[in-house]
Structures are given as C-alpha cells and as structure tokens.
Structure 1
Amino acid sequence: MPTIKDIAKRANVSTATVSYVINNTRYVSPEKRERVERAIKELNYVPNAVARGLRVRRSKVISLIIADIANPFYPDLAKACEETAKKEGYTVTIMNTNDEQGSLPKAISQLREGTVEGLIVTTALNTDVPFLEQLLQEGYPIVLAHRCPEMDIDTVMADNFQGGFEAANHLIELGHAKIAFMRGVQHSPIDATRTLGYKKAMELAGFHILEEWLPTGLANYEKSYQECMRLLELPKDKRPTALINIGDIGALGAIDAASDKGLSVPDDLAVIGFDDLFLANLRSVQLTTVRMPRFEIGQRATERLIEKMKNRTDSRKLQVTLPVELIKRKTCGWKK
C-alpha cells in the first residue's frame, strides 16, 4: 500500500506538503497541489485516517454502480437493491459508468471519501480487477452483481455460459447451422462467457464458426442494426440464417435490419436476445430470449453486502450463480 512518502517522491514535494493537501490545513500552490493530487490518483492512495474511519463508520448508504442507466435491464435489479436495503434501514444511491474503461475508479470515489458504506458493482470490466483487488485489501465491503471477473470477490450472477449454450443449441435443434453471435462490450466477463457457451454448442454440433459471425453490437439498438445489415450483405454461402444478440435491445435492432432488407423473421433470419425485458413479450415483437433473474440478482447481492457491512470480520467470498431460462417465442419460428 502506498504511503505519504511514496506520494511525496512521485510529486517531487515534501511529505509535509502532501499532508497539507490531504488534510487541507495550509495553503499549497495550485501547481504543487495538482502534482500531489495526480500522484495520489496514480498510486490509488487512501489516507490511513480515512481508511480507519471507514471501518467503523456507519453511513447506512449503499452505492449501486451500474453500467448504463438507459438500459432497461437495470430497473428491476435496482428495485431489488432498494427494497432489500430499505428493510435493513439503508438507502441506495445510483451511479452510472456507461461501461467505459477507467470509469469505475472515478465512480467509487464516494467509498474512499466515506460517504457510502459499501458498494454493489454491476459494471466491472476485466481491466478493473487490479483496482477492485486493492479496495478489497483495504477492507472495503464490495459485492459484484451480474459481473464476474476472474478474482476472489463476493459475486451474484446468472449462468451466462449456459445461456449462450442454450440459445445456440435451440437454433441448432431448429435446423440452423450458420448462426451468428453478436457480442457486447469488450473486456466484459458477461460477453466472454456467453460467447463461450455459444461456441461450445456449435463445437458439439460440429459446426465451423466464421470470423464474420462474431461482430460487436454492444447490446444497443443502432450498433446492432448496423452490424446485422453487414451480416445480411454477406455472400449467400456465408450469410447467417440465425442470430443471437447479447441483449434484447440489440436483438430488436437486428430484427429491424432484417425487415429493412426485405427479409422475414423468423423465415429468413431467426433471432434470439438476452434478458427477457418487457419489450420482448410485446405482441408485435414476441422475441425468443434468455431470461436473466434480474430481481433476484439485486436482492441476493444486497443481502450479502449488508452481511459484510454488519460483520467486517466476515472474510468468506461467496460466489452465487443463478439459473437462466430460455423463453421460446416467435422470432425463431417456435409456436405455442
């Protein structure tokens, strides 16, 4: 863990100057203050007094950090967090990161400042692992919800590998061999595990996956629309007859792209999404999708975080994987 001496050396100032900046006790020139603050940020330094205070402080506030506040996936998860926290006398604040690299350290500054007591993080990318590991070493209560990077941390998530496998296997059972998988955010464990499930199903069926069948749609409408248009412009021998999108919103973009190409869903292109948002079950959509247990993820994550905040000596690392369910509707040709 970095010390005041490390900060002073990095900023080329005295330890006294570093102390003045941290405690705001004396005037420090803007130029020196900027160097010190930059060194603190680069070394992820937490003043010992703050760290000691956080271990005993009870702000009764939880911060829920989400990837995209505009994504309809998160309201159910957030509702579960809020309802569960309220029963225990806690309030929940929500912070948004847009799933951008480097945004998580900025978003959780409240934890270091002591204004929140614990974190539920839904937006951890693999690139965030070193930062999260340092926070854990410093004793901060953190639970990951819907994300599972490769690290020893409390996690509540859905079985994303199984979701990718079941989606692809359903299409294979319907007779499809040319199946595209439209991926999500780079460096996301969710993207990686769902893609692995898809690849495993294709491998077991003996089907080769073309590089063109793995475009990045980012789970959003516009990008997925554009990528689907490109897929549908491939030569007939390479053009997919089925597509799995990593999110329902992206799947809607793919459906509209097929329509604008004069193609029929599911006759010319079968489509599957992920999440089972309310839009998926609209009569005009009827999207086949992999249902994610959003409310239960939020509920279980909040319960675990509160346990950790009440018992700071609890060193267990619980990793909960919840089952998913393939919901069969009309975009794959399935009928009740």
Structure 2
Amino acid sequence: MKETHVTIKDIAKKAEVSVATVSYVINNTRYVSPEKIERVNQAIKDLNYVPNAVARGLRFRQSKIIGLTITDITNPFYPELAKACETEALINGYTLILINTNDDRERTAIATSYLREGRIDGLIITTALEHDRSIIEKMIEENYPIVLVHRTLDNIQVDTVLSDNAYGSSRATKHLIDLGHRRICFMGGVDGSTVGNERVMVFQQTMREHGLPVMEEWNLRGEVGYKKSYEDTKRLMNLSNDVRPTAIINISDIGALGVIDAALEMGMRIPEDLAVIGFDDVFITSTKMVGLTTVHIPSYELGRVGTKILIDRINKKELNHYQNVTLPVKLMVRGTCGYRNQKGNKM
C-alpha cells in the first residue's frame, strides 16, 4: 500500500484503536497509554504512513528537556549521577526530568513514549535490562537520541558510558584472596543486568584462576537491596563453621549493609568472622561508623559524560561513531575486610 493511499482510519484499524486515539498519538494532544502508543506507532511503520515527517516535526520543535531513567530514587547511588546530569543539562540550556522505573518494563516504555511524543529531546537510560531490549532497539532504529549509562545490553549499537565492572570485581575478589579467604560468596543483582552479570562472571573466573571453589549455593541474588541481602546472610551464617563463607562481596553498598547488620545480629564480628565488600562507594560507607570496603563507582562522572554525549547527539554535533566510554573504578579499603601491612601480617 502506497503512502498516499493510507489514512488515519487504516492506522486505527490495524492498531485496533479509535481514530481519535491515532490522532492523539500523532499530534500529542492527549494522554494515551504506552501500550496503545506502541501499537499505533507500529501500524504507522507497517503501513508506511508518513511517520518520518511527523517525527521530524516533533524533533525540530525542541522541548529543551532531557529525560533520565533510574531504577529506584531511594537508592543513594543515583543522586550523584542525577545531580551531574542536571548540572550538565543546565549548562547547555536543558532541563532534566527523572523517570523512576523500579526495573519495570512498562515504566521504560513510558519514558521512551515521552521521546516519541516530543515531550523530551533525548533520554539517558541507566536502567537497561534484557527485557527492555526490544523497546531500546526500536528507539535506536528510529534514530532517537538515547545514551545507555551504567547498564548496557550485549550486542547493541548505541552510545554507552559504563564503569569498569570487570576490574572492580577482579580487584575485590583478589583482595579477599590475598587476605587468606577461600570461601567467598558473591551476592548478585537483578536478573538481566549486564552490570551484575559481568561482576559475577569475573568473580567466578578469578576464583577459578586461583584454584578456589565457586559454590553455587553461595552465589545469591541480593537484588541490590538491603532486605534480601539481610535475609540471605542470615541463612548463610546458620551453616556450620566449616561450610559457611568467610567473606561476602555484595553487588551494592546497600546490600552490603544488609549483610553487616545480619552478621552483627547473629553475634559475629566484622571483619574477624566475616569480611564484607560492597560496590558503589555511596557517602555513608566512608563514615567512621560504617567504614565499608567497597569498589568506588564514579557515579557523578557517569552522569556528566552521558549527558554531554546525549546533548551532542541532540544537537547533531559531529560524532563519527558511537561513543563507548568505560570509566575507571577503585577499591576503597576500609574496615570491613581488613588489610595486610607491608610485612604481610593480617590486620
């Protein structure tokens, strides 16, 4: 069917919505559910109904707003990242809005619908999970400005800004091994996250390189949360002394705090009875009362660099290829796993 023969009625019929709904989607005049927006846009694409002309009209009429998706606004990892995004946006004349997804695919769809509707000019996605792949790939295919920050997806061509998760995981694991630990547990994160997958994979690889067993029953999913990590630690610490792990690496600082609280409640000493390492280096971990050994993730720089790349894409500055930036991380050795002095004595 040629483009000139297609009408809004044809779009409505194919998408199984009313003609009015199609009009709302095309003209961005009323709220339409993300699921219906998806169906209408797919029908427009399938029937070759001038979608590019509509998109161009929206894109040239810039909103001067960019979006940022985060998984959980209560997670203290995100404020520094969001602050950097906002600062870089304001410097360049843009306003930032936050979309809290809770790792829900429907929330991600809502965020991308803002981009299609012209409510925002570009989108920084820190929440990419495997179940978001089709949504994100479609945005890339349709040439909308997006940048994946913190999390990415395997085998996808898009601008990314990541931290060096492989080095961080390897460094944390080797630190514990150097301290004499042989029974080490890794508490991973949410399913479908490349951040969690890479950290777990490198941990397991490092353990095997040192001839140490990787106990599957110890490699638990903490879901980057306090409660789940707390509960899993209680179960692990109830194992007999010759079976339970002597050290735990958690996918996040919040989860690591759950590990510490559970162990302390059971009368264990940190780090003498259980060594603990987290990831992120959120502010509270550096306080003298907590003193958590953790892998510092440069959250501010992730946000700053990601926003700069996005704005360059929006303004069509010359970028010859996709920008794939990996930022360095650092192990912050504090009090929850001890250290050795220069003579090799454990402290």
Residues 186 and 248 in structure 2, CA contact (< 8 A), matched pair in contact too = yes
Q: CA deviation at 1:235?
A: 2.9
Deviates further, 143-152 or 287-296: 143-152
Aligned length: 320
Instruction: Report the secondary structure of 2:42's partner residue.
Output: coil
Aligned-residue RMSD, C-alpha: 2.3
Residues 34 and 110 in structure 2, CA contact (< 8 A), matched pair in contact too = no
Quick one: percent identity of the two aligned structures? 46
Q: CA deviation at 1:314?
A: 4.7
Cα separation, 2, equivalents of 1:41 and 1:111: 12
Cα separation, 2, equivalents of 1:238 and 1:50: 63
Cα separation, 1, equivalents of 2:87 and 2:129: 27
5+ residue gaps in structure 2?
A: 1-5, 26-31, 45-50, 342-347
Matched, 1:8 2:13: yes
Residues 7 and 39 in structure 1, CA contact (< 8 A), matched pair in contact too = no
Instruction: Report the secondary structure of 1:106's partner residue.
Output: helix
Counterpart pick for 1:184 among 169, 182, 189: 189
Q: CA deviation at 1:313?
A: 7.4
Instruction: Report the secondary structure of 2:182's partner residue.
Output: coil
Distance change in 2, residues 1:123/1:44 (3 Å): farther
Where does residue 30 of structure 1 map in the other structure? none
Letter in 2 for 1:41: E
Residues 15 and 43 in structure 2, CA contact (< 8 A), matched pair in contact too = no
Instruction: Report the secondary structure of 1:45's partner residue.
Output: helix
Instruction: Report the secondary structure of 1:231's partner residue.
Output: helix
Residues 266 and 331 in structure 1, CA contact (< 8 A), matched pair in contact too = yes
Distance change in 2, residues 1:38/1:72 (3 Å): closer
Where does residue 144 of structure 2 map in the other structure? 140
Q: CA deviation at 1:222?
A: 1.2
Where does residue 21 of structure 1 map in the other structure? 21
Q: CA deviation at 1:111?
A: 0.9
Cα separation, 1, equivalents of 2:214 and 2:252: 20
Where does residue 53 of structure 1 map in the other structure? 57
Matched, 1:166 2:171: yes
Residues 67 and 99 in structure 1, CA contact (< 8 A), matched pair in contact too = yes
Cα separation, 1, equivalents of 2:242 and 2:12: 60
Where does residue 199 of structure 1 map in the other structure? 204
5+ residue gaps in structure 1?
A: 26-33
Matched, 1:89 2:93: yes
With normalisation by structure 2, the TM-score equals 0.86
Instruction: Report the secondary structure of 2:336's partner residue.
Output: helix
Cα separation, 1, equivalents of 2:144 and 2:181: 48
Q: CA deviation at 1:217?
A: 1.1
Where does residue 28 of structure 2 map in the other structure? none
How far does the alpha carbon of each residue in 1:25-63 deviate from its partner, in whole angstroms, 9 at most, with x for none?
Answer: 9xxxxxxxx9x9856435753852542223322211111
Q: Which runs of 4 or more aligned residues in structure 1 lie more than 6 Å from their structure 2 counterparts after TM superposition?
A: none
Distance change in 2, residues 1:228/1:137 (3 Å): same
Residues 188 and 221 in structure 2, CA contact (< 8 A), matched pair in contact too = yes
Counterpart pick for 2:161 among 144, 147, 156: 156
Where does residue 77 of structure 1 map in the other structure? 81
Residues 215 and 227 in structure 1, CA contact (< 8 A), matched pair in contact too = yes
Q: CA deviation at 1:237?
A: 2.9
Matched, 1:302 2:299: no
Where does residue 323 of structure 2 map in the other structure? 318
With normalisation by structure 1, the TM-score equals 0.89
